Amino acid sequence: MIGKRIFFALLIGLLLLTAGCVQQEEAPQENNGVQGSSTVVLTVKYLDAEGNTIAEKAISTPKGVNAWILMKDNMDVDFEEFSFGPMVKGIEGTPSPEGHYLALYVNGEYATQGVNGYFIQEDTLMEWKTEAIDSFGLE
């Protein structure tokens, strides 16, 4: 009888120890072992034709949030809605000058899609640069 009691006590102790190990292994996987990995920063800059900063705002956000929603919720954005998405015409009360448009650059590269197509997964710089319409070939 004593042998069976010792056997069951050891078995229960072993189960408790391994259950604790499984919980310890699973905890880091929830955030991939990186502190604060679910929060990123979207920095929005509005530049005039000479490259001077007119407005700038850093927006802290969870990963995966749409850039357009972040801009509209955190800045004064003048825009017009089209079938292809929003066209930004001014930021923080300053419209683009006559004969110019606001070109979007993401992390230094000319945007390959409209602002509403970007979902922020990492720290991102979005620059709205004032460019002459004739440089785009529309005049």
Give the pLDDT confidence of 59-83 residue by residue, as tens digits.
Answer: 999 999 999 999 999 999 999 999 9
- Across the beta sheet with 85-91, what order do the strands follow? 77-82, 85-91, 94-95
Query: Which amino acid appears at position 80 of this protein?
Result: E
Entry field: residues in the chain = 139
**pLDDT score of 104 more than 90:** yes
Considering the chain, what percentage of its residues have pLDDT values greater than 90?
68
pLDDT computed for residue 134 by the predictor = 85
Give the integer Cα–Cα distance in Å for 86 and 109. 19
Average pLDDT value for residue range 45-54: 96
**pLDDT score of 139 more than 80:** no
Contact 53, 46 (CB under 8 A): yes
pLDDT in tens, 11-48: 454 444 444 443 333 333 333 334 456 999 999 999 99
Record the tokens describing residue 127, joined without a space: 């620059």
